[in-house]
Amino acid sequence: MEIILAKTAGFCFGVKRAVETVYSEIKNESPSGVYTYGPIIHNEEVVKDLESRGVTVLTEDMLSCGKGLDNARAVIRSHGVGRDVYDRLNNMGFSVVDATCPFVKKIHKIVDEESRRGSRIIIVGDKSHPEVKGIMGWCSNEPEVIHSPSEAEKIDISEGEKVVLVAQTTFNSIIYKDLVEFFRKKDYNVCVYNTICNATWERQEEARLLAASVDAMIVIGGTNSSNTQKLYDISRKECKNTYYIQTLVDLDLTVIKSAKRVGITAGASTPNNIIKEVYDSMSELSFEELLKQSEENENKIKPGSVVEGKIIDVKPDEIVVDIQYKADGIITRNEYSNTPNIDLTTVAKVGDPIKVKVVKTNDGEGQVLLSYKRVAAEKSYAMLEEAFENETVLKAKVTQVLEGGLSVSVEECKVFIPASLVSDVYEKNLDKFLNQEIEFVITEFNPKKRRIIGNRKKLIVASKAEAAEKLFASIHVGDVVEGTVKNVTPFGAFIDLGGADGLLHISEMSWGRIEDPKSVLKVGEKVKTFIKDINGEKIALSLKFEEENPWTKAAEKYAIGTEVTGKVARMTAFGAFIELEPGVDALLHVSQISNEHVEKPEDVFKIGQEITAKIVDFKQDEKKISLSIKALLKVEEADAESVSEEASEE
């Protein structure tokens, strides 16, 4: 006879946690005793053993009397209780020890929050089951409890009414799926929470597959255990020779003596010693050997170990993985990728194999915390180390802008680029790099400290040096070049020529006078200049093209005796300089301003004032022109005298 023991048989995480909590409280020897709110689990053998050790089961009558014991400890069982029970126990003086299964606690939180928002709560499960009663006790409104599609038909749901659907953790997963499908086909506004414990689902699925492959099936558990009853019902559908027993005493070996293959499973509240007794009576292989095999499997699941699993559920913010362990593994969004707010349903799907690293064996809710990105990161370390040694240029997207620099992701491995290494110039606003792909090299690699430093500045400096070399090899004094205004200062502008910067001094911006370079040029503007001088790595530029030189035709325009009009550009103690055109200034000496004595030009003129005068001197080589208003006045006086003489003769 081949005896096959289900891997998931026996205590689940929540039950094991609750039972261990009670035994731990016994060891603490509370002076006022240890109590449990109802039987700690649905197994008579365990309850009897606890009673023999002085544990008292609290009944409703005991709570109704209102008398408590100071310092007595009341343990809440894994099924959980309603909010009011906590209040009653605290009011009676009990010190409450909460051993509610984390999966059940999660349902309490859901119905509490959703009912407060006004959602209608529908609980799928057995209304008489303590777990369901506890869930009902966290609803702010009156919940509905159903366990079949026929009961769902009777519920009257208004159009647009929000409905929240949750399930008892041990409910039949197949029936729950049918109910979910029923509500969705009705096109109701239903929010479905899959609250059936993964361990329960796995236990039921394993029982179904095992029962379908054996000649006889043994299901071990307490008669009042809901999850054991479901295991029996599932097994019975697959194998007619299915037997429900509580202990070895209930097992009639004669009914299975002709079976070649016998399967054994057990409810979540069945202790290992009872399973051991049944198994030992049927198999030559000792239970200790099976337990050892189980422990060997558990030893594989420890912090730091890398395991392979299969994805069994995907949500936007977490992935559930079957890792062949007593509890499922969870990959949170942050442990899957460094990409902020990534929707996991877009990158993973149910059924996919996945290699992960164990972070914690218990995340606080009985599940194993896993990491996918840490496995991916470790794979990339070898590549990054090679890139470091070979100074390979890498390209990656900036995923975070930090206070001191940029963080980029290379196959889920973070590389930090300090602000000082982002560019060869100071970058005041690093935010502009977010989500941009940038190139860099690794200049520091220390995997032990997880310190990997990238350097973008090095590439920029090298690129500019190469460009500068090409530029200086191709330019000459007098060449006309085009560049981009990089910076404007009070003394001029720096022009990026594509490899080096050239200085366009304020005096070379125009043939005329420039007061402020910013009035002429703007950063980012394209400008065409010519190279006036090259001195080492310094390039002097000019906009004063010779063909635009106003002095070229000045001798014709400004001949002696010509009457001209210009604006007062500046004044000194000895006279005023008059701008005749941009680049051509003429001196009006203070002695030539008027026939009357003028102390200083400011007494007569204002900057910008337009005046008319006569050219009395012109020196081309020295680029000097002298003006006189007095000379113009003499002409006017002479003309006036001539007119007067002609009038008197008449």
pLDDT at 552: 85
Q: Bigger pLDDT: 265 or 633? A: 265
As a whole number, mean pLDDT of residues 357-372 equals 79
- φ, ψ of residue 538 to 5 degrees: the values are -100, 130
Strands of 144-146's sheet in order across:
144-146, 120-124, 162-167, 189-192
- Contact predicate 484/524, CB 8 Å: yes
* pLDDT band with cut points at 50, 70 and 90 for residue 639: low
Domains present along the chain, CATH in parentheses? 2-101 (3.40.50.11270), 103-192 (3.40.1010.20), 306-371 (2.40.50.140), 383-453 (2.40.50.140), 475-548 (2.40.50.140), 553-637 (2.40.50.140)
Q: Bigger pLDDT: 351 or 66? A: 351
Which 3 state secondary structure label does DSSP give 213? coil
* pLDDT band with cut points at 50, 70 and 90 for residue 296: low
Least confidently predicted of 88-97, 475-484, 560-569: 88-97
Half-sphere exposure of 359 (CA within 13 A, CB side): 18
pLDDT at 640: 54
469 contact partners, CB below 8 Å, separation of at least 6: 499
Q: Please say if 546 is a catalytic residue.
A: no
| Interatomic CA distance for residues 545 and 509, integer angstroms | 10
- pLDDT of 422-434, one tens digit each? 998 888 889 999 9
Q: Provide the percentage of residues in the chain whose pLDDT is more than 70.
A: 92
As a whole number, mean pLDDT of residues 555-567 equals 91
pLDDT at 170: 82
> pTM of the full predicted structure?
0.45
pLDDT at 287: 43
pLDDT at 25: 86
pLDDT at 591: 92
pLDDT at 199: 76
Strand 575-581 with 526-535, pairing: unpaired
- pLDDT of 143-177, one tens digit each? 999 988 889 888 888 888 899 999 998 888 888 88
* pLDDT band with cut points at 50, 70 and 90 for residue 10: confident
pLDDT at 418 over 90: yes
* pLDDT band with cut points at 50, 70 and 90 for residue 73: confident
State the Cα angle at 644 between 638 and 647, rounded to 5°: 145
Q: List the structure tokens of 283.
A: 């198999």
State the Cα angle at 633 between 628 and 638, rounded to 5°: 135
- pLDDT of 124-152, one tens digit each? 999 988 899 999 999 999 999 998 888 98
As a whole number, mean pLDDT of residues 26-50 equals 80
What's the Cα-to-Cα distance from 416 to each of 39, 279, 441, 454, rounded to whole Å? 56, 57, 11, 6
pLDDT at 635: 64
Q: Provide the percentage of residues in the chain whose pLDDT is more than 90.
A: 41
pLDDT at 218: 94
- φ, ψ of residue 345 to 5 degrees: the values are -70, -15
Strand 394-402 with 437-446, pairing: antiparallel
pLDDT at 294 over 60: no
Which of 25, 114, 131, 508 is an active site residue? 131
pLDDT at 189 over 80: yes
Strand 318-322 with 492-496, pairing: unpaired
